[in-house]
C-alpha cells in the first residue's frame, strides 16, 4: 500500500516513522501532478509546500490547533493529509474545493481566498482561545507575496504588541505570488535568504568564548552583544524582532526535519513567532520551476509529461485587452498601467515590455494601487488599473473617496468579471456592478466581444473627470456580435427602435448572445422584441429610459449580483423618471456561489435563453 493511502488524518501522519517522510513527500508530488493535470488547478504553489505542510501537521494538533492558509490555494497537501484524497472532482460541482472549505472538513477554517488576511484571522483566533482559557495555537501560513498587502502589516503591528500570544506565523518564502515578489519587503527577505556571513562571526565568537579563561556574566554579555551586532549588520531580521515578533530562520522549507524542529521551538516559545521557510514553487516537477513557475501557478488541463495544455482555447478576453493596451501606450504618452501582483494574469506584460517606465506593480495592495492612481491622475497621467473584478471589492473605499470624490480620471479594467467558475465563491467577479451603482460619477462599460473591449478602452481613457470601469469575463472571447443599428449611443442587436415593443431586452456585456437568442424565441411566439446593448451600462443612458417607456416589459440580463446591479439601477432610474414599465432583473443571486463551470452557474441562476423566456412568460 502506498504511504499516502495509509493517512486519513494528522494522527496517522504523526505515527509515520521519520525515515518514511521523504518517500511520502515524493508520493504527494506524484499525486498532485497526476491529479491536477487532469482537472486544472493550483499546481505550482502546492508542489512547493509539501514538506512544510507535513511538518506543520506533525507539530501542531489540527483541528485543536487552527491552521489558517493565506490565500488558501496552497492547501491541497493539507487536504490530502486530512482525509481528502479523492481529487477526481477537484474544483467541479460536487467535488472538493480548490481552497479550504468548512463544509469539507473540520480542519478547514478560512474559506476566503483573498490574500493578506491570514494574520488578522489568526490573531483573532489566538486571542479568542486565550480569553476562553484554552491552550491552543493559531498558525498562519502566509507567502512572501501576501506579505506585501497592507492588511498583513496592520496585523503584524497589533500582533507584535501582544507578547504572550500563542501565534505562529509561517512565512512560505518562494520569492513569488503570481509573479516575482516586488518591493522593499522582498528586498529584505532576499537579504535574509542570502546573507549567512553572520554565522561565521558567531562561530568565531563561540570559539573565543570557550577558549577564554574569563567566565561568567561578563563573557556571556560580550558574546551576545557581538551576536546581536553581527546579525543586525549582516542579516537584519531585526525588522521583525524589533517589532516584538520572535524570528526563526531562514529554514530550508524542503528539509522536513529542519522545519519540524523550527516549528517545535516556535510552539514552545510562548509568544508570537515568525518561522521563515525558503521554498521553491513547483518543486519536483521540472516544467513548473524557475522561469516557468508563474505559468504553473494555476493551470488548466495539461499533459503531465510535457506540461503543455490539452485544450487550446484560442484568444481570451484578456488577450484583446493586452494587445489594445500596447497600441494605446504608443498613441498616448500619458497612459500608465498599474497592477497588484498580476502582471501576466491581467495581460500587462506586453505593455511592461514596451513601456517599462510606465508600468507599476504594487504587490498585493489594491487599496494602495487605487489611491496611487488618483495621485497619478492629479499629476497629469491617465492610469489604467488592471485587476481581477473580485479584488475591486478590496479597494471600494479608495474608488469612492479618492477617485470619485476627487473626480480623478482613472480607468479600472476588471478581468474575470461575472462568473469565474471553478475558483468558487471568493473569486466570482459578481460584486463590481453592484458596488459601482453606489459611486457618484463612475462610468461603467461592459463590452460584449473583443472589438467592444478595444472600443471601450479608448473611450474610457478619454474620461478625465471621474473614474471609469471596463469589465469582461474569464475565458475565450465571445464571437463577434454585430449591431444591426445604433440609437443615441446604444447598440441595437435585434429589433427596430421605431416600434413600440412587448419586450425590451437589455444585455450587459457577455450576455448579448443569450439576450438575442431569447428574443428570437419570444418573436417565434408572436411577441415583438427589441434587444439593446448600452455598452456603457452605468450611469443608465437617457435613451434607454426613453425606450423603456415604449415597451410592455423591460428585462435586464447581467452576470452580476441581481440585488443591486444594472437591473436595479434601471428600475430606480425609470421610476424616478415616471416610467411605469415593469423591470425584470435577471442576474446572479445574492448569495455566495460555489465552484462549478460557468455554464452550470448561469443555468442555476436562470441566465439561459430558455429560462429568460420562461421568466418573461410568467410576467404575461
Closest by CA to 317, choosing from 155, 426, 471, 108, is 471
H or E element: which one contains 221? Answer: helix 217-234
- 145 among annotated binding-site residues: yes
Active site residue 281: yes
- 174 among annotated binding-site residues: yes
Write out 34-90 in H/E/C secondary structure: HHHHHHCECCHHHHCCHHHHHHHHHHCCCCCCEEEEECCCCCHHHHHHCCCCCCCCC
- 175 among annotated binding-site residues: no
8 A C-beta contact, residue 535 and residue 452: yes
**Which of the residues 58, 79, 91, 394 is marked catalytic?**
394
- 255 among annotated binding-site residues: no
What does the alpha-carbon distance between residue 144 and residue 177 come to, in Å, rounded to a whole number? 7
**Which of the residues 27, 175, 260, 366 is marked catalytic?**
366
What does the alpha-carbon distance between residue 567 and residue 174 come to, in Å, rounded to a whole number? 44
Write out 126-161 in H/E/C secondary structure: HHHHHHCCCCCCEEEEEECCHHHCHHHHHHHHHHCC
- 591 among annotated binding-site residues: no
- Determine the distance from the C-alpha atom of residue 245 to the mean position of all C-alpha atoms in its chain, rounded to a whole number: 28
3-state secondary structure of 182: coil
3-state secondary structure of 556: strand
DSSP 295: G
- 285 among annotated binding-site residues: yes
Chain length of the chain: 620
Q: Hey, how many other C-beta atoms are within 10 angstroms of the C-beta on 100? A: 23
8 A C-beta contact, residue 473 and residue 419: yes
What does the alpha-carbon distance between residue 268 and residue 252 come to, in Å, rounded to a whole number? 20
Phi and psi angles of residue 556, each rounded to the nearest 5 degrees, phi first:
-105, 125
8 A C-beta contact, residue 490 and residue 534: yes
3-state secondary structure of 210: helix
Q: How far is CA 587 from CA 296, 349, 471, 511, 598, in A?
A: 33, 33, 16, 10, 13
Active site residue 525: no
DSSP β-bridge partners for residue 492: 485, 532
- 112 among annotated binding-site residues: no
Closest by CA to 39, choosing from 78, 77, 89, is 89
**Which of the residues 91, 176, 281, 516 is marked catalytic?**
281
What does the alpha-carbon distance between residue 27 and residue 108 come to, in Å, rounded to a whole number? 23
Is 82 exposed, middle or buried (CB count within 10 Å of its CB: 0-12, 13-18, 19+)?
A: buried
- 146 among annotated binding-site residues: yes
All three cell numbers of 161, joined, read 504588541
Please count the CA atoms within 13 angstroms of the CA of 157 that sit on its side-chain side.
5
Q: What is the DSSP string of 396-436?
A: HHIIIIIIITTT---EEEEET-B---TT-TTT-B-SHHHHH
- Whether the link from the prior residue into 589 is cis, omega within 30° of 0, is no
What does the alpha-carbon distance between residue 611 and residue 620 come to, in Å, rounded to a whole number? 15
Q: What is the DSSP string of 444-498?
A: EE--SSHHHHHHHHHHHTT--SS-EEEE--SSBPPPP---SEEETTEEEEES-TT
Active site residue 394: yes
User: Annotated binding residues, as ranges?
Assistant: 73, 113-115, 144-146, 174, 285, 366
Catalytic residues: 281, 366, 394
User: Annotated binding residues for thiamine diphosphate, as ranges?
Assistant: 73, 113-115, 145-146, 174, 285, 366
User: Annotated binding residues for Mg(2+), as ranges?
Assistant: 144, 174
Amino acid at each position: 500500500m502506498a504511504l499516502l493511502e495509509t493517512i486519513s488524518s494528522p494522527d496517522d501522519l504523526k505515527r509515520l516513522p521519520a525515515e518514511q517522510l521523504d518517500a511520502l513527500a515524493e508520493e504527494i508530488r506524484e499525486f498532485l501532478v497526476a491529479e491536477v493535470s487532469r482537472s486544472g488547478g493550483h499546481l505550482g504553489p502546492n508542489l512547493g509546500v509539501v514538506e512544510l505542510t507535513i511538518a506543520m501537521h506533525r507539530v501542531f494538533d489540527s483541528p485543536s490547533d487552527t491552521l489558517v492558509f493565506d490565500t488558501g490555494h496552497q492547501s491541497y497537501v493539507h487536504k490530502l493529509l486530512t482525509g481528502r484524497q479523492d481529487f477526481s472532482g477537484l474544483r467541479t460541482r460536487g467535488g472538493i474545493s480548490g481552497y479550504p472549505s468548512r463544509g469539507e472538513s473540520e480542519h478547514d477554517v478560512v474559506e476566503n481566498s483573498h490574500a493578506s488576511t491570514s494574520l488578522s484571522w489568526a490573531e483573532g483566533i489566538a486571542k479568542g482561545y486565550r480569553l476562553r482559557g484554552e491552550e491552543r495555537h493559531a498558525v498562519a501560513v502566509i507567502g512572501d507575496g501576501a506579505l506585501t498587502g497592507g492588511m498583513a502589516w496592520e496585523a503584524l503591528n497589533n500582533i507584535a504588541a501582544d507578547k504572550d500570544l500563542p501565534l505562529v506565523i509561517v512565512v512560505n518564502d518562494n520569492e513569488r505570488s503570481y509573479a516575482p515578489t516586488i518591493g522593499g519587503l522582498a528586498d529584505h527577505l532576499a537579504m535574509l535568504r542570502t546573507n549567512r556571513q553572520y554565522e561565521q562571526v558567531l562561530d568565531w565568537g563561540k570559539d573565543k568564548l570557550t577558549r577564554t579563561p574569563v567566565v561568567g556574566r561578563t563573557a556571556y554579555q560580550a558574546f551576545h552583544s557581538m551576536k546581536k551586532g553581527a546579525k543586525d549588520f549582516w542579516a537584519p531580521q531585526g525588522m521583525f524582532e524589533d517589532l516584538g515578533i520572535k524570528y526563526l530562520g531562514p529554514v530550508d522549507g524542503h528539509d522536513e526535519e529542519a522545519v519540524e524542529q523550527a516549528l517545535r521551538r516556535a510552539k514552545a516559545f510562548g509568544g508570537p513567532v515568525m518561522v521563515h521557510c525558503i521554498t521553491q514553487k513547483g518543486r519536483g516537477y521540472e516544467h513548473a520551476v524557475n522561469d516557468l513557475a508563474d505559468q504553473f501557478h494555476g493551470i488548466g488541463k495539461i499533459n503531465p509529461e510535457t506540461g503543455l495544455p490539452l485544450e487550446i482555447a484560442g484568444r481570451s478576453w484578456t488577450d484583446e485587452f493586452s494587445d489594445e493596451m500596447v497600441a494605446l501606450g504608443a498613441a498616448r504618452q500619458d497612459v500608465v498601467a498599474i497592477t497588484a501582483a498580476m502582471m501576466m494574469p491581467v495581460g500587462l506584460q506586453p505593455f511592461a515590455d514596451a513601456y517599462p517606465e510606465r508600468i507599476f506593480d504594487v504587490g498585493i495592495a489594491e487599496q494602495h494601487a487605487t489611491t496611487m492612481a488618483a495621485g497619478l491622475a492629479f499629476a497629469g497621467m491617465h492610469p489604467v488599473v488592471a485587476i481581477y473584478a473580485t479584488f475591486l471589492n478590496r479597494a471600494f473605499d479608495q474608488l469612492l473617496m479618492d477617485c470619485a470624490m476627487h473626480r480623478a480620471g482613472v480607468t479600472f479594467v476588471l478581468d474575470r468579471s461575472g462568473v469565474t467558475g471553478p475558483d468558487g465563491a471568493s473569486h466570482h467577479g459578481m460584486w463590481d456592478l453592484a458596488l459601482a451603482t453606489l459611486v457618484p460619477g463612475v462610468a461603467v462599460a461592459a463590452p460584449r466581444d473583443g472589438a467592444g473591449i478595444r472600443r471601450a478602452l479608448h473611450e474610457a481613457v478619454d474620461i478625465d473627470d471621474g473614474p471609469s470601469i471596463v469589465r469582461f469575463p474569464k475565458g475565450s472571447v465571445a464571437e463577434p456580435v454585430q449591431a444591426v443599428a445604433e440609437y443615441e449611443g446604444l447598440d441595437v442587436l435585434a429589433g427596430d427602435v421605431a416600434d413600440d415593443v412587448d419586450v425590451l431586452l437589455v444585455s450587459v456585456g457577455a450576455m448579448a448572445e443569450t439576450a438575442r437568442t431569447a428574443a428570437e424565441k419570444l418573436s417565434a411566439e408572436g411577441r415583438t422584441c427589441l434587444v439593446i446593448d448600452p455598452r456603457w451600462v452605468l450611469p443608465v443612458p437617457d435613451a434607454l429610459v426613453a425606450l423603456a417607456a415604449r415597451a410592455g416589459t423591460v428585462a435586464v440580463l447581467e452576470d452580476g449580483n441581481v440585488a443591486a446591479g444594472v437591473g436595479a439601477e434601471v428600475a430606480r432610474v425609470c421610476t424616478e423618471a415616471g416610467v411605469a414599465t415593469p423591470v425584470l432583473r435577471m442576474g446572479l443571486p445574492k448569495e455566495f456561489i460555489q465552484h462549478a463551470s460557468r455554464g452550470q452557474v448561469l443555468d442555476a441562476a436562470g441566465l439561459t435563453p430558455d429560462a429568460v423566456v420562461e421568466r418573461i412568460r410568467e410576467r404575461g
